[in-house]
A and B are shown apart, each in its own frame.
Chain A
């Protein structure tokens, strides 16, 4: 099956999730004996585009127009579906980022395709059956979704698939899709960056704080530990509801579901709604002074103790570790 992957850039740069999705799409192409084509929209330099070749795309369709330099949902969806048709793709893959989540459903409707979002593994393909595993019930379970359509659209969850440098190269071609005024009904006026902080949904490491920290003034040590580790900061729902931390840091069933390699929960008891949002983490560390905190039941490592005693020790230990490296 020929596969098309959308390589999302943010202001001309690719992020880790883009390399992950290319590796994932290359594996599907290999699995089904097809070729992998990538499509890029916006202003990405040729040398940056060429990087994508290493991960298994044999061709890159480059759509470069000033009007497309910032995200326009309808136009992007139209271009991706035109690219899919031009390479006769049976599978179209995107990243399950904020942008991917807005784009993929539109692409799926345009292509009359069945759609699985947030894939966690490669598809299982046996004969005519094509099924993909994804999370469900906000991390409390998994669902195996069967796609019955000729074309399939998949978005890949961040941190779910390993980047594989295959040492291959890709040819870059200009691609000229047809778009009309109708495709440009939304306009990005401004992009506001939340400093250089690591974003929570695709972070590899997360340090999260709860009510046990007693107040927003005590977040300094959480931020220091996170910054030393190169981690994103998160929080529990009561913390964001009280306005101690912004909503976009709220981890849990009604906030952000994360899947980092390491999740450190400090002063969070572990309500079922919070646990749902972190169940996909590879290693969970819990620091809580209550030995009965439910979070310890799903933790890999735990310290029963006061955060105000433990965290400064951890900060020192990370400094020592970094000094050795």
Chain B
């Protein structure tokens, strides 16, 4: 099976977020970038599905040359080859148009993304790619199994889950549960340097949305401490002061 895994280069989860240029740009100075944790799960499942020479996993990223360490990481984890679409990822629609073009040309049977990237948290790109390609998509799945020509997935819903069957080709965005992240071994790290990484130019896309500015959350007031032996007072305060229970 040919699988395409869409990966995103995002700030490490411990990053303290600040902005530049009058709160219009994310300040990347000193920020460590990583492979988006949800995409890591998608990649791990793709590698499991193609184990034993049963297919090929390609990773695709929309980014400038500075995302290559993250792409090499994905290759070290076990992707067979990679494509970088050479453009800054302006917004989800832009990224989706780029990846949909690559995905159509490569005739992948399965396209996987993370449920969302941990920077802009849009959860948009996956379903947009599928709509542009006119193939089915299932968002936020926690289980994916394949039996001959049919896949069975479990999709999270409020207060439960749905078990869904779907034929190939399709796209799914994944969340925790679908696989455990894989840690690259030494052989993987060595071979990642020589695995193919193709760079292609981006196509022009209309700008339907743009971020005009960012804000940081307002600071919270200082904590009101209640002593352990008066714990009941907390419930009183939540009821009559904060009025939340």
- Which residues of A are at the interface with B, using a C-beta cutoff of 8 A? 10, 15, 70-71, 73-74, 77, 97-99, 101-106, 108-110, 112-118, 131, 133, 135-149, 182, 185-194, 197-199, 201-202, 205, 229, 240, 247-248, 250, 253-255, 257, 261-262, 272-273, 276, 279, 282-286, 296-306, 309-310, 313-314, 316-318, 320-321
Contacts and interface: CB of A to CB of B under 8 A. Distances in A.
A136 B127 contact: no
Contacts of B17: 137, 140-141
B137 A73 contact: yes
Interface stretch (B50-58, B77-85, B182-190, B205-213): B205-213
10 contacts: A73-B137, A98-B140, A136-B214, A137-B26, A137-B118, A141-B215, A186-B164, A193-B159, A254-B118, A301-B238
A262 B237 CA distance: 12
Contacts of B212: 131, 144-146
B31 to A, nearest CB: 11
A282 B242 CA distance: 9
Interface centre among A97, A185, A314, A316 (most CB of B within 10 A): A185
A188 B121 contact: no
A273 B163 contact: no
Given A109-B128, A190-B162, A142 B217 contact: yes
Given A253-B118, A257-B121, A317-B235, A305 B162 contact: no
Given A140-B17, A144-B213, A115 B93 contact: yes
A284 B238 CA distance: 10
A262 B104 CA distance: 46
B169 to A, nearest CB: 10
Contacts of B156: 98, 248
Contact of A273 (B14, B140, B175, B224): B14
Contacts of B236: 317, 321
Given A105-B126, A148-B207, A273-B14, A135 B223 contact: no
A264 to B, nearest CB: 9
B158 A77 contact: no
Contact of A305 (B124, B160, B216, B231): B231
Given A114-B208, A283-B244, A301-B237, A141 B217 contact: yes
A140 B123 CA distance: 17
Given A73-B138, A115-B92, A254-B118, A192 B234 contact: no
Given A189-B165, A262-B244, A273-B14, A144 B214 contact: yes
B239 interface: yes
A303 B208 CA distance: 48
Given A73-B138, A98-B155, A185-B167, 4 more contacts: A138-B119, A254-B38, A283-B238, A296-B223
Contact of B166 (A187, A262, A276, A310): A187
B171 to A, nearest CB: 10
B196 interface: no
Contacts of B89: none
Nearest to A191: B162
Contact of B158 (A10, A272, A314): A10
A101 B139 contact: yes
A306 B228 CA distance: 8
Contacts of B122: 117
Nearest to B210: A146
A190 B132 CA distance: 28
B204 interface: no
Given A101-B139, A301-B223, A198 B244 contact: no
Given A108-B128, A199-B159, A314-B232, A301 B226 contact: yes
Interface of B: 11, 13-17, 19, 26, 37-38, 92-93, 96, 118-128, 130-132, 134-140, 142, 152, 155-167, 170, 175-177, 206-217, 220-221, 223-228, 231-232, 234-239, 242, 244-245
Nearest to B152: A189
A106 B127 contact: yes
Contact of A313 (B121, B124, B231): B231
Contact of B242 (A133, A145, A300, A321): A300
B220 A186 contact: no
Given A102-B137, A202-B158, A314-B231, A285 B220 contact: no
A309 B163 CA distance: 42
B37 to A, nearest CB: 5
A138 B37 CA distance: 12
A207 to B, nearest CB: 11
A102 B121 contact: no
Contact of A98 (B26, B125, B139, B216): B139
Contacts of B226: 301-303
B224 A300 contact: yes
Contacts of A250: 176
B234 A314 contact: yes
B212 to A, nearest CB: 5
Contacts of B11: 137
B238 A138 contact: no
Contacts of B170: 185-186
Nearest to A289: B228
Contacts of B16: 140, 272
Contact of B120 (A143, A284, A285): A143
